[in-house]
């Protein structure tokens, strides 16, 4: 804290030296655009501003496109909490973000999360971004329907098929599919199926190493490594509601809330939507078993929010002071508790919501993976491709197309 405080006094002194000389607080522009959490973050900012008078934080809720444009114009925000994806990773890759490795916040982050951050992009020698909120996603299941048919949470692929068969024979719909929205196929069906048995970290590393050579003769390819899991995914897609092809995300939440199916391949963000219709529905979560070994079970995670401080900011120390405030245990844990996220600091308790309990052990043991669909560069239309598979396109054909797209992109970049 002394370091931060010293920084503040120094910058404040500089401001007095060259500014108009009113000695007022230093303004920090903080961008945050996760809609559901804006009320919480507004409160955090107000509390911080009231707690001291050296720095005044201004909350900017304009979305990521505006932020990208501000980087191009050389006028980026001073501090960002942003969804960590390929878009933000572009700033990391091009080393336009400052090193946060020396902050107290950085020292408290769980080290096993670093590979997940590096997977998107890296600037050698720098900790360009710090995770703030990690979302874990897996199969959501209706506990009431499971109890009614005396079903246990499946731990292996054959148990899963057994559960699905039992449900189907009992006249229940095992899975609710919302294939009309391609992203639901990609983040649920595709990612869970692949992540349940392929090590996505290793797979994409080897894929990147092959680069333009990815194809029928390369050692690693989408066709070779993913076709198997996706055949299993197609098998599971046979257990969905008849009208899955014309149902979207909103339809799915409604139907699932009304007991329209026993299992739903969605993330925790769907809970609040389901609760709008059925606030008391008992729901649970479990990782999709894809193999016969319960030790292979893993949950899909994504770094829902990461903190970054752009090099272009003129308020480095003030931004870092607020950053440390954001990582205070009561602030960061309070945030994640309210948003059903996992706090990435080493000592933090898991969110207490019982609906997430089925994933907590896996998260604590580091049995996590990032979704394959978000690790493919966005310029390759992987979401429509996975939707094509759900609609019955040949898995091998689609995987070959992915291989070709990957190689073509590598050749060009």
For other proteins, the binding residues (CB under 8 A) are 68, 71-72, 86-87, 90-91, 94, 96, 179-180, 182, 243, 245-248, 377-381, 384-385, 387-388, 391, 393, 398, 401, 404-405, 408-409, 411-413
Nearest-approach distance from CB 319 to other proteins, in angstroms: 20
Dihedral sign, Cα of residue 320, residue 321, residue 324, residue 326: negative
By beta-carbon proximity to other proteins, the closer residue of 68 and 83 is 68
By beta-carbon proximity to other proteins, the closer residue of 74 and 111 is 74
Nearest-approach distance from CB 90 to other proteins, in angstroms: 6
Nearest-approach distance from CB 98 to other proteins, in angstroms: 15
By beta-carbon proximity to other proteins, the closer residue of 314 and 411 is 411
By beta-carbon proximity to other proteins, the closer residue of 51 and 413 is 413
By beta-carbon proximity to other proteins, the closer residue of 361 and 397 is 397
The pair phi, psi for residue 103, each rounded to 5°, is -80, 155
Nearest-approach distance from CB 94 to other proteins, in angstroms: 4
Measured CA to CA in angstroms, residue 269 lies from 253, 273, 332, 356 at distances of: 11, 7, 18, 11
Rounded to an integer, what distance in angstroms lies between the CA atom of residue 194 and that of residue 53? 50
Nearest-approach distance from CB 68 to other proteins, in angstroms: 7
By beta-carbon proximity to other proteins, the closer residue of 180 and 300 is 180
Query: Which residues, 6 or more positions from 36, have their beta carbon under 8 angstroms from its beta carbon?
Result: 272, 339
Q: If DSSP states are collapsed to H, E and C, what string results for the chain?
A: CHHHHHHHHHHHHHHHHHCCCCCCCEEEEEEECCHHHHHHHHHHHHHHHHHCCCEEEEEECCCHHHHHHHHHCCCCCCEEEECCCHHHHHHHHCCCECCCCCCHHHHHECHHHHHHHHCCCCCCCCCCCEEEEEEEEEEEEEHHHHHHCCCCCCCCHHHHHHHHHHHHHCCCCCEECCCCCHHHHHHHHHHHHHHCCCCHHHHHHHHHHHHHHCCCCCCCCHHHHHHHHHHHHHHHHHHECCCHHHCCHHHHHHHHHCCCCCEEEECCHHHHHHHHHCCCCCEEEECCCCCCCHHHCCEEEEEEEEEECECCCCCHHHHHHHHHHHCCHHHHHHHHHHHCCECCECCCCCCCCHHHHHHHHHHHCCCEEECHHHHCCCCCCHHHHHHHHHCCCCHHHHHHHHHHHHHHHHHHC
Nearest-approach distance from CB 215 to other proteins, in angstroms: 14
By beta-carbon proximity to other proteins, the closer residue of 4 and 188 is 188
By beta-carbon proximity to other proteins, the closer residue of 87 and 148 is 87
Nearest-approach distance from CB 388 to other proteins, in angstroms: 3
Nearest-approach distance from CB 380 to other proteins, in angstroms: 8
By beta-carbon proximity to other proteins, the closer residue of 72 and 295 is 72
Rounded to an integer, what distance in angstroms lies between the CA atom of residue 385 and that of residue 404? 13
Nearest-approach distance from CB 97 to other proteins, in angstroms: 12
Nearest-approach distance from CB 112 to other proteins, in angstroms: 28
By beta-carbon proximity to other proteins, the closer residue of 182 and 321 is 182
């Amino acid at each position: 804290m002394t370091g931060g405080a010293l920084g503040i006094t120094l910058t404040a002194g500089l401001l007095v030296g060259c500014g108009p000389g009113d000695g007022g607080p230093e303004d920090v522009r903080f961008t945050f655009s996760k809609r559901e959490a804006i009320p919480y973050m507004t409160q955090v900012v107000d509390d911080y501003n009231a707690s001291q008078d050296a720095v005044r934080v201004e909350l900017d809720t304009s979305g990521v496109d505006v932020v990208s444009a501000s980087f191009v114009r050389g006028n980026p925000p001073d501090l960002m909490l942003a969804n960590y994806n390929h878009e933000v990773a572009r700033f990391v890759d091009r080393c336009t973000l400052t090193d946060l490795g020396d902050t107290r916040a950085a020292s408290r982050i769980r080290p096993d999360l670093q590979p997940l951050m590096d997977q998107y992009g890296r600037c050698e020698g720098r900790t360009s971004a710090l995770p703030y909120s990690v979302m874990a996603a897996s199969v959501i299941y209706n506990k009431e329907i499971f109890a009614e048919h005396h079903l246990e949470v499946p731990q292996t692929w054959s148990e899963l098929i057994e559960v699905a068969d039992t449900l189907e024979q009992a006249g229940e719909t095992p899975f609710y599919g919302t294939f009309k929205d391609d992203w639901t196929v990609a983040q649920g069906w595709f990612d869970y199926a692949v992540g349940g048995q392929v090590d996505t970290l290793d797979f994409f590393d080897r894929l990147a190493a092959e680069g333009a050579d990815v194809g029928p003769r390369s050692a690693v390819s989408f066709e070779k490594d993913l076709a198997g899991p996706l055949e299993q995914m197609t098998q599971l897609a046979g257990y969905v509601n008849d009208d899955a092809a014309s149902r979207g995300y909103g339809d799915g939440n409604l139907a699932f809330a009304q007991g329209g199916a026993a299992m739903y391949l969605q993330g925790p963000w769907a809970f609040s939507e389901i609760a709008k219709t059925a606030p008391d529905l008992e729901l649970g979560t479990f990782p999709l078993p894809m193999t016969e070994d319960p030790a292979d079970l893993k949950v899909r995670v994504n770094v829902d929010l990461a903190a970054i401080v752009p090099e272009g900011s003129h308020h480095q120390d003030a931004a870092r002071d607020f950053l440390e405030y954001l990582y205070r245990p009561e602030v960061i844990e309070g945030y994640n508790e309210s948003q059903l996220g996992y706090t990435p600091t080493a000592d933090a308790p898991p969110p207490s919501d019982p609906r997430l309990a089925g994933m907590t052990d896996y998260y604590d043991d580091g049995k996590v993976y990032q979704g394959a669909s978000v690790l493919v560069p966005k310029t390759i239309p992987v979401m429509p491709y996975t939707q094509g598979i759900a609609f019955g396109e040949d898995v091998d054909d689609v995987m070959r197309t992915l291989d070709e797209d990957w190689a073509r992109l590598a050749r060009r970049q």
